[in-house]
A and B are shown apart, each in its own frame.
Chain A
Amino acid sequence: MNDTSQSFVKFEKIDKSYDGEVLVVKNLNLDIAKGEFVTMLGPSGSGKTTTLMMLAGFETPTNGEIFLDTKPISKIPPYEREIGMVFQNYALFPHMTVAENLSFPLEVRKISKPDIKEKVQKALDMVELGNFGTRFPAQLSGGQQQRVALARALVFEPRLVLMDEPLGALDKNLREQMQYEIKHIHDRIGITVVYVTHDQSEALTMSNRIAVFNDGVVQQLSTPDILYEKPENSFVAKFIGENNTLNGVVREVNGSSCTVELDGGFGMVKALKINVNEVGEKTQLSIRPERVSIDNSASGSNNFSGKIEELIYLGDHIRARLDVCGNNEFIVKVPNEGSFNHKEGDQLKLSWNSEDVRALDL
């Protein structure tokens, strides 16, 4: 990714309101590079679909401008934007066959008949539906319809493809299979994709970068690993992956680390200073379950103990819910190495490294 292609799509100071009272999207600034797979992830009502619809041209930004290939596009109607889109429920036209659905964008572009035929066949082959051209959408399974929708969004060689929760209607196995397939197609043809989902594992699997939306604001925009390992605020920490929280007050700040006194007098915890600034501030500590060690050797800098509330056997690991420092939803994942022989009600010694604890906003 070089600098000239850095912002193929650029959202600049975008605000959006439907009723003039509530902002659905607040001051959105987002740059997407050419060829990138960017996912907008967030709970429903967080503004991610609205953002996508503004990009597609079905909603008008209340303020700000969207640039595509350095040109402002707010005044361009949707049918001239050359942006492909896969809709939530596919929006395949039921009165047309699969091939007719795929020819539609080519026909309205007045492409010659033989060319259309060739492009349609190529697109169908790409999604492995080469022999399904004469079927109607209703005669296809959900996964096949999904592929047709994908092929239709790509067949006219758009500059950009948008996908609005395209896998939401599929069952779990098919969803995972389609995730890989979409990822592979993206890798192969190198098209820019903006993907919307509320499923974090889907986002982690497919994306180059993820924009986490909440309350109309992008909370963090980063690669999947950074998002998971270094969340910048408590919303991201909670929304991506599993997360244990402990509340407290900052007592000491020391460069990039700090010391936090837990509420309820459970002691002091050393943590990374992420989203807190000064002594006396309230904070929420975030620790990933797999970073908590039940080793009794006390290697970590933070040592605590907790009562086992519940044990769930999950094959490769055992999931233990503990009561730690007043939080009885504290999850620890114990690898199944055959040596774990505690029962519910037992006390466990816990420890973790201070680098794995992040002091975030409350």
Chain B
Amino acid sequence: MEVPISTAELLTTDGIPLKQSLRKAERRNKLRAFLLVFPLLLFIFVTFVMPIGDMLLRSVDDSQINSVFPNTFDEYKNWDKGADELPPEEVYKSLFFELANGDKRQIGKALTRMNYAKSGWKSLIKKTTREIKKIVKKGEEPVSYKDTFININKLWADPTYWYSFNQMVKDRSSIYYWNALDRTFDEDGDVVLQDEKRRMYIKTWLRTFKVSIYVTIFCLILGFPVAHLLANLPLRYSNLLMIFVLLPFWTSLLVRTTAWIVMLQQNGVINGILVWLGVISDDGRIQMVYNEVGTLIAMTQILLPFMILPLYSVMRVIPKSHMRAAQNLGAKPVTAFLRVYLPQTIPGISAGGLLVFVLAIGYFITPELVGGKDGKLIGSWIAYHLKTTLNWGLCAALGAILLGIMLIFYWLYNKIVGIDNIKLG
């Protein structure tokens, strides 16, 4: 027998459609909930979404130079590179007036950008501008703008300078991303490797990965037994141990990092003890700081709590009876650990591992202080360009790549382990 399915809408006792009535009843609650979280949403938007969006835009933004030389760039697009060796007269003319009348500060900024494309632009334009201003002052109108330029500096007859314009004529550019990967554009606009002495980012990227992976592994090896102890000791002792684990959290990062310098440097505590014990000779003191080793040691110590705490929170709820049950069922302690205990700690291992890795990959202060020349990570380059060279486009590109890598790892992690397996506390 077929049960007739009613297609009619359900009505309330008053005859209003049930769904409509429900919506009305829920509206107030929904509104209230929204108003409660609204300040936080606004805060997150202003302090998080907007800066990151701005950063991502900045990493591809190339519009400033276009606003300084709009006509020049327009004319430049008409240059048939196959037919003429140099750009047409109109390009020189536009540039003449835009240099003569342009805002000095804006031109300065544009010059910095032009120098990224080809070094030498800055001094060339500066010299030329000075001469052009003289000509304008005299009230002369050049017969040929092209000849005027070439008279001022014969580099203007060098087409390679003009070719480098090519990568700047668009509002958007991928140059910063290529720079962040030790690459640049050549005269034809193809991507090529940087000069050998200017290649430093790939090396740093690789080191950043290597250090982050090592730090994660060391933290896991050191943190696992501690977390296990924390979870299984009687409360009296585990509380004490917990304080030791948390103590670093309450100490300034700078203090801890400089403490490591004191410990590890060649005239430091550890070398002193080793010499005193006769393990090494006085002139064989080991270099443990201002290199990758120092970075590894200090970062492992500093990030250790981030591994221990998620592990502890997972281990605490694994009943002790599981190990007993496994042994009772005939498994040797090692087998019981590998097959029963370890699989149950995976959510903690992955949470701690992801946390430590993500923190390590973007770490800045510690590698900067104890890393020396060989131990710097990508964060140091970002800070360097942010503060010293003011190449914010490159900063943004480096940061965006970092963000992208983290997202890839997150995605991979979700594929392999499943993000709902994560457990932070």
Contact = CB atoms under 8 A, between A and B. Distances in A.
Interface of A: 56-58, 77-85, 87-89, 91, 93-95, 104-105, 108-109, 152, 156
Nearest to A56: B328
B127 interface: no
A156 B329 contact: yes
Interface stretch (B50-58, B184-192, B339-347, B409-417): B339-347
Interface string B320-353: 0110111111111101100110011000000000
A334 B322 CA distance: 49
Contact of B328 (A83, A88, A89): A83
B319 A78 contact: no
B330 A79 contact: yes
B330 A105 contact: yes
A156 B330 contact: yes
A17 to B, nearest CB: 17
B339 A78 contact: no
Contacts of A85: 324-325, 328
Contacts of B343: 95
A156 B321 CA distance: 19
A152 to B, nearest CB: 7
Contact of B329 (A89, A94, A152): A152
Given A89-B319, A91-B322, A84 B344 contact: no
A56 to B, nearest CB: 6
Contacts of B331: 79, 104-105, 108
B240 to A, nearest CB: 20
Query: Which 9 pairs, one residue from A and one from B, show the smallest C-beta to C-beta distance?
Result: A105-B329, A91-B325, A91-B321, A108-B331, A79-B327, A78-B327, A85-B328, A95-B343, A87-B321
Contacts of B330: 79-80, 82, 105, 108-109, 156
B331 to A, nearest CB: 5
Nearest to A95: B343
A94 B344 contact: yes
A57 B328 CA distance: 8
B237 to A, nearest CB: 15
B324 A91 contact: yes
Contact of B324 (A87, A104, A152): A87
Nearest to A109: B330
B339 A91 contact: no
Given A87-B325, A93-B325, 13 more contacts: A78-B328, A79-B327, A79-B329, A79-B332, A79-B336, A84-B328, A85-B324, A91-B321, A91-B322, A93-B326, A104-B329, A109-B330, A156-B330
Given A104-B339, A108-B335, A93 B328 contact: no
B327 A95 contact: no
A77 B340 CA distance: 18
A104 B321 contact: no
Contacts of A156: 329-330
A104 B326 contact: yes
9 contacts: A56-B324, A78-B324, A78-B328, A79-B331, A91-B321, A91-B324, A93-B340, A95-B344, A108-B331
Contacts of A108: 329-332, 335
Most buried by A among B327, B333, B340: B327
B interface, over-half SS? helix
A150 to B, nearest CB: 13
A87 B326 CA distance: 11
Contacts of A84: 328-329
B311 to A, nearest CB: 16
A152 B322 CA distance: 13
Given A78-B328, A85-B328, A91 B335 contact: no
A108 B333 CA distance: 11
Nearest to A162: B328
Contacts of A91: 319, 321-322, 324-325
Contacts of B333: 79
Contacts of B321: 87-89, 91
A79 B322 contact: no
Interface in B148-183: none
A123 B339 CA distance: 22
B233 to A, nearest CB: 16
A84 B329 CA distance: 7
A285 to B, nearest CB: 44
B379 to A, nearest CB: 37
Nearest to B340: A93
B34 to A, nearest CB: 35
A140 to B, nearest CB: 16
B344 A58 contact: no
Contacts of A152: 329
Contacts of A57: 327-328
A93 to B, nearest CB: 5
B236 to A, nearest CB: 14
Contacts of B326: 93, 104
B344 A79 contact: no
Most buried by B among A77, A79, A82, A89: A79
A301 B331 CA distance: 63
Interface in B304-327: 319, 321-322, 324-327
Nearest to A92: B325
A79 B328 contact: yes
Contacts of A94: 344
A156 B331 CA distance: 12
A138 B331 CA distance: 23
B422 to A, nearest CB: 15
Contacts of A78: 324, 327-328
Contacts of B332: 79, 108
Contacts of B319: 89, 91
B322 A93 contact: yes
Most buried by B among A58, A78, A94: A78
A207 to B, nearest CB: 22
A56 B323 CA distance: 13
A109 B326 CA distance: 12
Nearest to A58: B324
A186 B330 CA distance: 22
B350 to A, nearest CB: 14
Contacts of A89: 319, 321
Most buried by A among B331, B333, B344: B331
Nearest to B336: A79
Most buried by B among A80, A83, A104: A104
A58 B326 CA distance: 12
A160 to B, nearest CB: 11
A91 B327 CA distance: 12
A110 to B, nearest CB: 10
Most buried by A among B325, B326, B333, B340: B325
Contacts of A88: 321
Nearest to B335: A108
Contacts of A87: 321, 324-325
A103 B324 CA distance: 17
